[in-house]
Every structure is written in structure tokens, then in C-alpha cells.
Amino acid sequence: MTDPAQGDTLSQAAALPPQLEARIAAVENAAPTSDFDASSWFWMMLLGVAVPLILLAVGWWA
């Protein structure tokens, strides 16, 4: 059980400015934004892993 005094402190300290509160609520209620989809992962792995490995191999044997 939460100590009532601690609960008051929590609610006061955690109170967000109304505009921020509205903004966060809007972001929470919006359709979830994806981080990376399959296509993003493909390009990341290609450009961030595969291409560097090829460049390194070519450079080493050049």
C-alpha cells in the first residue's frame, strides 16, 4: 500500500504541464508508430553490416 503522504508528493511532482499532458495523451492515443519495419532492417543490415564487410575485405586484399 502506498503511503498517503508519498502519494501526494508523487502526484504533485509528477503533474505535467497541461500542454505536455495533452501532447503525451495524443501520442499515446495515436496509432503506434513503428520503429523499424522489415524493409528498414534490410537496408540497415545491408548498409551497416554487409557493405562494410565487403569494403573491408576488398580493402584488405587491395
Q: CB of residue 41 vs other proteins: minimum separation in angstroms?
A: 8
Site of interaction with other proteins (CB under 8 A): 2, 6, 9-10, 12-14, 16-17, 19-28, 30-37, 39-40, 43-44, 47-49, 51-53, 55-56, 58-60, 62
Q: CB of residue 4 vs other proteins: minimum separation in angstroms?
A: 13
Which residue carries 545491408 as its cell? 46
**Could you give the CA distance from residue 1 to residue 18 in angstroms, rounded to a whole number?**
28
Tell me whether residue 4 or residue 53 sits nearer to other proteins (CB atom): 53
- Phi, then psi, of 14 in degrees rounded to 5: -85, -5
Q: The C-alpha cell of 30 is what?
A: 495515436
DSSP state of 25: H
